[in-house]
Structure 1
Amino acid sequence: MDNINDIIAAIEEPPETFEEYLTRYAAQVGTLVNSYIPQGSHPDMDRYLYEPLNAYSQNGGKRHRPLICFAACRAVGGDMARATSAAAAIEHFHTAALIHDDIADEAELRRGEPCLHLTEGMGLAINMGDLALSLVNGTVINDPLLDDATKVRVVNELIEMTRRTIEGQALDIGWARDGRYDITPEDYLVMATHKTAHYSGAVPLAIGAIIGGGTEAEIEALRNYGLDTGLAFQIQDDLLNLIGSEESTKKDFRNDITEGKRTLMVVHALQHSDDRDRLIDILSSKEKDQAVLAEAVDIMETSGSIEYARNYAENLTSIAKNRLVDMVRPSSSRELLISMADWFVNRLK
């Protein structure tokens, strides 16, 4: 439990910024998460299943979901060691979602590495995603630190989280499949809230508060905070794909345009741009030429859609921070979560 003890110490005396918190403890949380991936009873189970999944999970990004779960638990005065299995469960769900999402989108890169379905084959990649899904509820059910009533409530949260994410994914894929260009910003917000905000913000925070013994008011305040900041996180991710300076050297830069994604910038531009027909042509063509992709970004910039999305994300987080201050007791963990909102929307600056 050395990793969790280090994380507990970090949140009791957290770094000044959320970004520093992630940088300092992402690797430790990753080790903690991966410790829940089992081994097979036959060597080829490891070869074709457990080892590739483990390697994929080790390239795990910033681990913000388990880290905010721990912070929420601490913010309501709970013991973060009891939140370990739930935090890992959410990260395993994230792994499953990414594997399946990349297959659905016919993506080529994930975090700078070839996608799992390209390195291991479609069938094995689907199977690994299914395994990661199986770890979500099982990880919590088998936790000896949690009482049965807490397990049932947490698993119910995870089940609802899974359903909502799949609903959002259905909208995202369906709109692209059917060539839908009648999507409004309001439609996008429903899709992104379901696809991302529940599992990237609301549920990690709510589960952390549930396990930490928070009041119902605290649990719902943290859930709502996660919905708003999680939505802002997705909008900012979409912006980074289009105009992020560091991402411009990666081969998956602007692949949201190639895949015809209905991002907030796209759906706003479809309603406001004089070059709507040209934008539809680009989105429909699976275009990879960087010059053409840049043309699509110029259309969104000219129509004010980039600025619209950036302002929307910033307004979401500003209001959310004020609400959290009113509803959750003062603590270093609360301040850390407030810093999280700023990090979510300032990654372009």
Structure 2
Amino acid sequence: MKNITEILACVEETPATFESYLKCYADPVGELINSYIPHGAHGDMDRYLYAPLYRYSENAGKRHRPLICYAACLAVGGNPDCATTSAAAIEHFHSAALIHDDIADEAELRRGEPCLHLTEGLGLAINMGDLALSMVNGPVVNDPLLDDATKVRVISELIAMTCRTVEGQALDLGWARDGRYDIAPEDYLTMAIHKTAHYSGAVPLAVGAIVGGADDEKVEALRSYGLDTGLAFQIQDDLLNLVGTDEAKKKDFRSDITEGKRTLVVVHALQNAAPEARGRLIEILSAKERDPEVLAEAVEIMEEAGSIDYARSFAEDLTLNAKARLAGALSPSPYRDLLVSMADWFVNRLK
């Protein structure tokens, strides 16, 4: 198995854009990350635990979390091999969060395939999510490239990340359970920052900088950038689910309406739609509706309330401001430019 330095060396020049960076390294980095999934002492442990989790992680997204961890490390002049256990920890936490999230939401599809709790059963899926959680701190503790002080600092970041994500999930699930439709955009932002922005942006970047030997000022600049772009990432995902690309429509298109998600688009529409339209939107969100025509009706209500444009503009403003701040906080380098272009990639996916 190649380490990340060897993987990076296979490409003559650093990719010029974040999108090309993902395309270039997602597969080999995915293999490297998955090498941390062990085998069981008994064959049936592989059958019921390790092998299904490995297959689940193989069907991953674009691996942006480990890749931005590496990019942050490189942007501050660090050794990227020192970031591998942190990158793996965050990606396996992501798997755990998705597995448990799909169970809580009674979802059916994940990345175009049936959810793990449907293919393997509820109990085994919960157990696999628990296993993925157990792989968050272990690799860092055993990393021979990190000194003890760095390990403690990284693990503290991972523990805080886990807590914040669970807090955000509690808001998301609690609002759905209690049929809450009094949620304001400010409430949504608190939920999304906790549930998504920390582990999808802030922590991968901050930890990458920490293991790369950056000073506190650079660590916090990257964390701030990750919070803003991580939030934009979630808003972008919400939009793609409603009015997405052809690729998005082949997956779990408009499932957020079926699941009654309180996205930024939804909470804005609930505040700004006409009373009759608001009542109809609540009716659809409460019904676990799957009829494409009814789902389209809900999207039309959101569009007429200006909520699609509001969310898109909000994400664009986040990324524009974050990009300018990061460019001033780090020394010029190809990896700083890659991280800046990450914000552009988010915005372009919204159009």
TM class, shorter-length: over 0.9
Classify 1:39/1:248 alpha carbon distance in 2 versus 1 (closer, same or farther; 3 Å).
closer
The match for 1:159 is 159
**1:86 & 1:228 partners in 2: Cα distance?**
21
The match for 1:93 is 93
**2:286 & 2:50 partners in 1: Cα distance?**
38
Alignment partner of 2:289: what SS?
coil
The match for 1:295 is 297
The match for 1:191 is 191
The match for 1:201 is 201
- Deviation digits for residues 184-203 of structure 1 (CA, Å, limit 9, x no counterpart): 00000000000000000000
Instruction: Tell me by how many angstroms 1:8 deviates.
Output: 3.4
**2:83 & 2:337 partners in 1: Cα distance?**
20
**2:339 & 2:255 partners in 1: Cα distance?**
30
The sequence identity of aligned pairs, in percent, is 74
**1:279 & 1:254 partners in 2: Cα distance?**
14
Instruction: Tell me by how many angstroms 1:209 deviates.
Output: 0.2
The match for 1:323 is 325
The match for 2:281 is 279
Alignment partner of 1:40: what SS?
coil
Letter in 2 for 1:329: S
Letter in 2 for 1:285: A
Point out where structure 2 has 5 or more consecutive residues left out of the alignment.
none
Classify 1:198/1:88 alpha carbon distance in 2 versus 1 (closer, same or farther; 3 Å).
same
- Deviation digits for residues 205-251 of structure 1 (CA, Å, limit 9, x no counterpart): 00000000001000000000000000000000000000012245425
- Deviation digits for residues 105-164 of structure 1 (CA, Å, limit 9, x no counterpart): 000010011100000000000000000000000111111111111000000000000000
- Deviation digits for residues 38-85 of structure 1 (CA, Å, limit 9, x no counterpart): 110011111100000001000011000000000000011100011111
- Deviation digits for residues 322-349 of structure 1 (CA, Å, limit 9, x no counterpart): 1111111111110000011111121133
Alignment root-mean-square deviation, CA: 1.2
Structure 1-normalised TM-score? 0.98
**1:23 & 1:116 partners in 2: Cα distance?**
26
**1:66 & 1:52 partners in 2: Cα distance?**
21
Aligned residues: 349
Letter in 2 for 1:107: A
**2:121 & 2:237 partners in 1: Cα distance?**
27
Classify 1:337/1:7 alpha carbon distance in 2 versus 1 (closer, same or farther; 3 Å).
farther
Contact in 2 for aligned 1:85/1:143 (Cα 8 Å): yes
Classify 1:195/1:201 alpha carbon distance in 2 versus 1 (closer, same or farther; 3 Å).
same
The list of structure 1 runs, each at least 4 consecutive aligned residues, that deviate by more than 6 angstroms after superposition, is none
Instruction: Tell me by how many angstroms 1:13 deviates.
Output: 3.3
Contact in 1 for aligned 2:16/2:334 (Cα 8 Å): no
The match for 2:77 is 77
Structure 2-normalised TM-score? 0.97
Alignment partner of 2:62: what SS?
coil
The match for 2:102 is 102
**2:22 & 2:6 partners in 1: Cα distance?**
13
Contact in 1 for aligned 2:75/2:335 (Cα 8 Å): yes
The match for 2:139 is 139
Classify 1:262/1:248 alpha carbon distance in 2 versus 1 (closer, same or farther; 3 Å).
same
**1:244 & 1:149 partners in 2: Cα distance?**
44
